[in-house]
Structure 1
Amino acid sequence: MGSQLFEEASIELAGGKTFRVRAKNASDTYKYIGSARLNGRKLKRPFLPHADIMNGGMLELAMTDRPTR
């Protein structure tokens, strides 16, 4: 996952499903992902399998001004 250009975006999927991405504080300054949650659960990996996207849901990103490990 990388820097977010928008605070919110959505993808309309087949079967009436929607996948949304929210990036809190996304900006030129806050360009690093501090933490991520998928459907309320903390993500511990820096990627999303295709199936997770196709199931629909919400990816929430907390943006920060410092890179994290």
Structure 2
Amino acid sequence: MLQPYKIALRINESRRFQETLFVNYMDYNDGLTLNEYAEKERKVLAMGFYGVEDFHIKVNEYLKFLDEIILS
């Protein structure tokens, strides 16, 4: 099950979004393809329920990164 706070914390601490996506995918994919997982993760993060405003800027950048993955 996706844990929005844990994902947002990883994003905030990450240097490379590709690595963060891969780690999140390995932990939470539940048999989904990478694109399907990216869409699911994007929906969860877009809700904004991860709890800490300090993550907002970096999570928004990550959402843009996910959009590129989803559209490719």
TM-score by length of 2: 0.22
**Greater per-residue helix proportion:** 2
Give the number of the structure whose residues are more often strand, by fraction. 1
Query: Normalising to structure 1: TM-score of the pair?
Result: 0.23
Say which one has the larger Rg: 1
